[in-house]
A and B are shown apart, each in its own frame.
Chain A
């Protein structure tokens, strides 16, 4: 009886130890799973943080560079514009002083002819005004105007730079052939020409 009781006790304890070992193994296995899942999850989170940081970095880079590039492009445009405008002012000065040049007669005659033709009247009124141009300088113009035309010599240069303005007698049709008007009409071609000559573009 004592022997079988011992066996029973041993069996009970042995079963309990087996069960206990299984429980601990289970716990260890759960712990491994917890750690493995945590590692995977945290790696994913870290990868996401890094990927997001790379996007943010690109945005920062673009923001710094694009504002700088834009500012520098503006500086370049401003400088080119300043240079072109300087040339335009030189052109205006040269045109304003044309009365003193050998080309004056030819230019004044052509301007008058163009203006008269544009107005298309038999009795055009032609106003001329050039800086530093005396009436005698305009004699050649007087000779080539149509018979019914009325020639008016202005004291001051027309539109500030000089030129010719023709109209019909009633003043309904007017053609402004002043240097200022010609500059305005040719604005885009002039800017292109000056820019191409200086910058080669």
Chain B
């Protein structure tokens, strides 16, 4: 093999080597790029899931508060009924005491 042929072979081999390295660079780039896409997807899924969870938390809180508010209404109605019963039973006594106070104070 002549010297020129040898140099040609080496130049070809170096070209091949460059292609191997370039391909690996492209592949690495692709891997990183895919990781970024995966990260974006991951983020979207996690944020969407967190938003759903948020809606659930708010909905539960509202439902619970409305239920407590209804309970408060029931208790208030019971208290009002109790006051009316007490008033019916004691208003004469209260009026008597008040008249005594006005007359004797």
Q: Which residues of A contact B (CB under 8 A)?
A: 1-2, 5, 8-9, 12-13, 15-17, 19-21, 23-24, 26-28, 30-32, 34-35, 37-39, 41-43, 45-46, 49-50, 52-54, 56-58, 60-61, 64-65, 68-69, 72, 75-76, 79-80, 83, 86-88, 90-91, 94-95, 103, 107, 110, 179, 182-183, 186, 189-190, 193-194, 197-200
CB contacts (< 8 Å) of A72 on chain B: these are 72-73, 75-76
- Shortest CB–CB separation between residue A144 and chain B, in angstroms? 17
Contact of B62 among A24, A64, A83, A200 (CB under 8 A): A64
Q: Which residue of B lies closest to A5 (CB)?
A: B6
Say yes or no: A45-B101 contact (C-beta < 8 A), given A5-B1, A72-B73: no
Q: Are A32 and B35 in contact (CB under 8 A)?
A: yes
Q: Are A12 and B57 in contact (CB under 8 A)?
A: no
Q: Which residue of B lies closest to A8 (CB)?
A: B10
- Shortest CB–CB separation between residue B21 and chain A, in angstroms? 5
- Judge if B103 is at the interface, Cβ distance under 8 Å: yes
